[in-house]
Structure 1
Amino acid sequence: MPGAGGLLLPLAALNLAAAFLVQLVVLARIGPGSATDAFMAAATLPQMLAGMASAVLGSVLVPMLAGESGEQQSSDGWFLLLAVGAIFLAAAALLSLTADSWAGWLFPGFSADAARFCADLARIQVFSMAFAAMNSVLVAVCYARGQFVRVEAITLLVVGTSAGILYFSLPIHGIVAAAWTVTLTALFQMLLLLPALGRPRQMGSAARNASQAWKRIRPLLAGNIYHKSDVVIDRYLLSMAGAGDMTLFALAQQFHGAAAGLFGKVWGNTAIPDLAVCAKRGDMPGFVGLYRRRLAILALVGGACYILLLIAGQPALALLLGHGKTSAGDIATLWQLMVASGGVLLFGCVGVLVAGAYYALGDTRTPTYLSMASFTLFVAVKYFAFQSFGAIGVALAASGYFAVNTLFLAGLLPARLRNKVGTR
């Protein structure tokens, strides 16, 4: 992280805080209950598809674009932005039209009124996934150029502003204001990142490069749709739990996912372009050295944060939420869910680097197929854990999924590297 790298960590940390603050504002101003559960449920499919787009496009486009000329990156970026935007806008329109059907089917524990309210909120939020998918293309272009700070600065500006607006609009418009905030945040982030592409360019060669990208995307696509549906499984089960449990579980996942994303972004994603360059040059000692250094940092930072959560997490949550509409019991439940789902943090941040090492080698199949196998196993684990322990059981199963998937993937990497050397 040369140059502006010293700014990346504080900016990414502030983004983590801002994203968590948005959720805390909703919880403090409204309190966990059926309305916030409907809001979380309405975001399920948009979150799943946007998460899939981010994982697939980032994993494929960053290594592919790294080292290319600025003009070629811009040409490819415009072509992919328009293609991805068209696909996801069409999908959003379809989900909006069918919201009444899928909201009732996916969340069987909701009452008829709650399901209708969920569908109304979904019609607002589904278009956020199209803007988020287009953001994934723009972020990939910026990352391939090493412009990590630019992405974090724009994200902080947009999310921080959204948190402030949400604080004042929630008492007036209720949870509907949060749904609009989700969509408008994604839209304005996309608009602010768009200048990174420069003016539209000739796209003749971009179509050929997009064909190469599609070959790498295909093995990732089905697998990511499959294992990114964990949010659907979780909320399907939690719709049958107590009112507010889905909201508290989602907040715990938001914290761990954002923290893992922060550390993975700073010490994982920033390594992928360099790992890809090492792989292209055949510099395996350089590849392994960089990988091991970043792996050690991620393990230490993730472990330290989890220990801090154990020691000071509950008092910190009480300080943040104790003056709002969240009860002491809700705060205790939230902390327990965060502790139980700690594997999402510990192994999620490491997993960014481990999977990124495969992508830098041009191998998108191994991480995808292993994730699919792990996910299949833990669907059953989650079901039985929920039957026995409720929301805490789902949180424990989520930790187990991340742990098993990351450890197996890391264990297989040395053999993949030996094969890479042997084929040269």
Structure 2
Amino acid sequence: MKNSIGKAVSVVLVMNLATKILGFVRETVIAYGFGASFMTDAYLIAYTIPYFLQAILGFALVSAVVPVLTKYLVDENYDETWHVASTILNLTALVLVLVTILGMAGAGLLVKITAPGASLELARLATYLTRIMFPSVVFMGVGMVISGILNASYKFAAPAFAPGFSNIIIIASVLLFSSRYGITGLAVGTLISFFGFLVIQIPVLKRVKFKYHLVLDLKHPAVRNLMFTLLPIILGVAVNQINLALNRVFASWLAEGSISALNYAMKLMSLPQGIFVAAVVAAVYPTMASFAIKGEKKALTDTLFRGLGMVSLIAIPAAAGLMILRVPIVQLLFERGAFDHQATLATASALLYYSLGLFPGSANMVLTRAYYAIGDVKTPLYAGFFSIVVNVLLSVALMNPMAHSGLALAHSLATGANTLFLYYGLKKHLPYLKGKSLIISLGKICLASGIMALVTWLGAVFLGTRMDLTMGRNLALLVLSTITLGALTYVIAVILLKVDDVKMMQDALLKKFKKQADRTK
């Protein structure tokens, strides 16, 4: 089990890395073309609802589909699997076409809800862009169902790379059409990118011998169970996006560019989650679902702890690194064209406070999937409502003294509250959930991350006083060298501290090298 999870994580990790690199090329290209400006704010407001549905409904569909199909795949009942999968695909497409019609008709109202403080001119442009991009939710929904089918069949590469293919299309649309069509070209490119997200996964369905049926069997027990559990899952998955949307609502009353600064900071903070944490979640979720179906709670708990250990190994040092290098990283990635130094400082300030929520948010992703594997869809919902209340109260309290940075801090603290709620609530399902070993491991990782942060800061100060950082080459050298220095320091520290997951990887590598050495004799 451990080896299979490791291989799956490796596959998804590579695909996610490519996707995230493309994602940041996309953000850099958009920043170069439009900056933190009126047009960018309008695009982001318009993209709020499609992205909201993508992040919520899309991941909810994957979360709901995997356990439903795993039940039949475990028994190798493929005819029933494809019958249920086809019904889910057809139902998703039908519902989202209706949602799209309503969304396009009510675009003006949606903009008023998502950005009530926007000026009339900004709201008018955002409404226009919303109508262009809204049909993307159909392609997104069907594409995410296909991702769930492939993940349940232990095919991870195509679903992981599909967002990267989508990013390529958006990059091309900015480079080829923004000078002629402006922000409209970006909106059309975004719509086409979602279609690409769907299409690129279709060939892989043939490899799992998927058989599509034009069927809408709403009376099937599995389909009815999915419809019963989907709404709580949607609301549970929606929590983070609701909190981000609330950030934008509150930010619409702040200085121009606040929405964009929060967006760019969130993109940076989400980089480790999108590359590594998403890989771990995608790999462990089908395994947890399989153990839950078989009633093997000890194995499920072990898999959960393995997942939490693996995400903490990356999320904690990544948060520390982002805090230390926040200004040079933002400057290197975005400060060009219309994105000036003031925008860099605003984005870096938001990144500092968003980074505090990196580990809680990563752990939350693993814990939530454990609940869904067990079949408890209500507890994540209750935890989510609690975090939304925390976020609203803290946002109101912090936005005046701290501006947009207070909204970032409120989001991180609300995420932490959500994660603690989920962890302690899971003990009623898993009697083997003992936190002592996890706490010891987290303590070692925090210590190693602290050492790394100190070395990284000293390295940045040393190089920063000896370089002209207005030159892009020098800035890139500073960022890359300090990241490398910090990474090496962290690796040495976790090895010396004998962190469990690192020791496990060491043993696996040594075993592999020993086998290879024996073969060469």
Paired position in structure 2 for 1:358: 371
In 2 relative to 1, CA 282–182 (structure 1 residues): closer, same or farther, beyond 3 Å?
A: same
Paired position in structure 2 for 1:58: 62
**More deviation, 189-198/170-179:** 189-198
Given candidates 178, 201, 225, the residue that maps to 2:213 is 201
Given candidates 160, 171, 183, the residue that maps to 1:175 is 183
Indicate conservation of the 8 Å contact 1:227/1:372, yes or no.
no
Superposition map of 1:15-54 within 5 A: 15-54=19-58
* Bigger relative CO (Cα 8 Å, ≥ 6 apart): 1
Paired position in structure 2 for 1:120: 128
Given candidates 264, 269, 287, the residue that maps to 1:274 is 287
Over the aligned positions, Cα root-mean-square deviation in angstroms equals: 2.3
Give 1:79's aligned amino acid.
T
Q: What is the TM-score with the length of structure 1 in the denominator?
A: 0.92
Note the alpha carbon deviations across 1:124-179, whole angstroms, 9 max, x for none. 11112222122221111111011111212333233234323323322222122221
Q: What is the TM-score with the length of structure 2 in the denominator?
A: 0.75
Q: 1:232, 1:322 → 2: CA distance?
A: 25
Cα offset, 1:331, TM superposition: 1.0
Superposition map of 1:365-380 within 5 A: 365-380=378-393
Indicate conservation of the 8 Å contact 1:45/1:232, yes or no.
no
In 2 relative to 1, CA 72–221 (structure 1 residues): closer, same or farther, beyond 3 Å?
A: same
Aligned residues: 420
Give 1:125's aligned amino acid.
M
Indicate conservation of the 8 Å contact 1:260/1:344, yes or no.
no
Paired position in structure 1 for 2:252: 239
User: Per the alignment, in what secondary structure is the counterpart of residue 200 of structure 1?
Assistant: coil
User: Per the alignment, in what secondary structure is the counterpart of residue 341 of structure 1?
Assistant: helix
Q: 2:212, 2:302 → 1: CA distance?
A: 39
Q: 1:72, 1:338 → 2: CA distance?
A: 47
Paired position in structure 1 for 2:442: none
User: Per the alignment, in what secondary structure is the counterpart of residue 61 of structure 1?
Assistant: helix
In 2 relative to 1, CA 21–171 (structure 1 residues): closer, same or farther, beyond 3 Å?
A: same
User: Per the alignment, in what secondary structure is the counterpart of residue 339 of structure 2?
Assistant: coil
Paired position in structure 2 for 1:82: 90
Indicate conservation of the 8 Å contact 2:16/2:274, yes or no.
no
Q: 2:149, 2:324 → 1: CA distance?
A: 40
In 2 relative to 1, CA 153–43 (structure 1 residues): closer, same or farther, beyond 3 Å?
A: closer
Q: 1:176, 1:312 → 2: CA distance?
A: 34
Indicate conservation of the 8 Å contact 1:19/1:258, yes or no.
no
**More deviation, 169-178/327-336:** 169-178
Given candidates 161, 167, 171, the residue that maps to 1:163 is 171
Q: Which has the larger radius of gyration?
A: 2
Paired position in structure 1 for 2:458: none
Indicate conservation of the 8 Å contact 1:37/1:246, yes or no.
yes
Give 2:371's aligned amino acid.
Y
In 2 relative to 1, CA 11–226 (structure 1 residues): closer, same or farther, beyond 3 Å?
A: closer
Q: 1:91, 1:11 → 2: CA distance?
A: 31
Q: 1:320, 1:218 → 2: CA distance?
A: 38
Cα offset, 1:24, TM superposition: 1.9
Note the alpha carbon deviations across 1:180-211, whole angstroms, 9 max, x for none. 12211111211222342744227476751211
Q: 1:262, 1:201 → 2: CA distance?
A: 34
Note the alpha carbon deviations across 1:312-362, whole angstroms, 9 max, x for none. 332232222333221112112111111111134222221111111111111
In 2 relative to 1, CA 223–267 (structure 1 residues): closer, same or farther, beyond 3 Å?
A: closer
Indicate conservation of the 8 Å contact 2:88/2:223, yes or no.
yes
Paired position in structure 2 for 1:184: 192
Indicate conservation of the 8 Å contact 2:36/2:257, yes or no.
yes
Give 1:201's aligned amino acid.
H
In 2 relative to 1, CA 193–336 (structure 1 residues): closer, same or farther, beyond 3 Å?
A: same
Paired position in structure 1 for 2:342: 329
Indicate conservation of the 8 Å contact 1:374/1:404, yes or no.
yes
Given candidates 430, 437, 447, the residue that maps to 1:417 is 430
Q: 1:14, 1:213 → 2: CA distance?
A: 32
Q: 1:175, 1:162 → 2: CA distance?
A: 12
Give 1:84's aligned amino acid.
T
Indicate conservation of the 8 Å contact 2:69/2:85, yes or no.
no
Paired position in structure 2 for 1:400: 413
Q: 1:90, 1:62 → 2: CA distance?
A: 25
Paired position in structure 1 for 2:513: none
Indicate conservation of the 8 Å contact 1:263/1:349, yes or no.
no
Q: 2:411, 2:429 → 1: CA distance?
A: 27
Percent identity among equivalent residues?
20
In 2 relative to 1, CA 181–255 (structure 1 residues): closer, same or farther, beyond 3 Å?
A: farther
